[in-house]
Amino acid sequence: MGRVRLLSSYQRPSWDTYFIKMACLTASRATCPRRRVGAVLVRDQRVLATGYNGSVRGAPHCDDVGCLIAKQGERESCVRTVHAELNAILHCALNGVSSAGATLYCTDFPCLGCAKALVQAGIEKIIYLSEYPDVHSFSLLRESGIALFKAVEDGQGGYRLVSPPRSCT
């Protein structure tokens, strides 16, 4: 019996690439058009939970009825939407799964509210694709000892991790 020869151009994705792409796919389920964010909580290369920006259970989706916007401090926020990161943490809690020691892969850097929840949930590392201009969430996560890495495209269909600057402006 002969062996099947695989294409030599195939490259198995790294775990970081795999989970960042999973976060991007999860973001495609988001129901708030203002920001489509996906999050994946992982420990020991195993998915604990996923989350995306979406309405609370039983509420209409922003995609269907429009966003309900309210001012929160300096920013405007959608009232109906639970953020991706918080949804992932809540799915862990709902299913009795500890998020302590987990890594969060997320399409966007967490806002301040999500940053607080991530610290309290025991997240040890955050890997994100896009910046979110919030100096307070960046500082809080740094001060809490959570490792932060930005995923940047490596030019070969994958991602490599880089440390963000010491402060965010």
Domain CATH for 109: 3.40.140.10
The mean of the pLDDT values for the chain is 92
Q: What is the pLDDT of residue 164?
A: 85
How big is the chain by its Cα radius of gyration, in Å?
17
Residue 1 — pLDDT band, cuts 50, 70, 90?
low
Q: Which domain holds residue 109?
A: 15-57+67-162
Q: What is the pLDDT of residue 85?
A: 98
| Residue 76 annotated as catalytic | no
- The rounded distance, in Å, linking the Cα atoms of 37 and 23 is 8
Would you tell me how many other CB atoms lie within 10 Å of the CB of residue 47? Answer: 14
Is it the case that residue 169 has pLDDT exceeding 50?
A: no
**62 part of a folded domain:** no
**5 part of a folded domain:** no
Q: How many Cα atoms occupy the beta-carbon half-sphere of 159 within 13 Å?
A: 22
Count of the separate structural domains present in the chain = 1
- Going 50 to 154 to 127 to 46, the CA torsion angle's sign is positive
Residue 2 — pLDDT band, cuts 50, 70, 90?
low
Strand, helix or coil for residue 136: helix
Q: What is the pLDDT of residue 73?
A: 76
| Tens-place pLDDT, residues 10-38 | 889 999 999 999 999 999 999 999 899 99
Instruction: Report DSSP state, residue 11.
Output: -
Mean pLDDT of 47-67: 94
Which one of 85, 124, 131, 143 is the catalytic residue? 85
**1 part of a folded domain:** no
Is it the case that residue 168 has pLDDT exceeding 70?
A: no
The pair of three-digit structure tokens given for residue 147, joined into one six-digit string:
């490792």
Q: Which of the pair, 91 or 33, is modelled with greater confidence? A: 91
**137 part of a folded domain:** yes
Is it the case that residue 79 has pLDDT exceeding 90?
A: no
**120 part of a folded domain:** yes
- Going 149 to 151 to 154 to 160, the CA torsion angle's sign is positive
- Which residue has 């100096």 as its token pair? 135
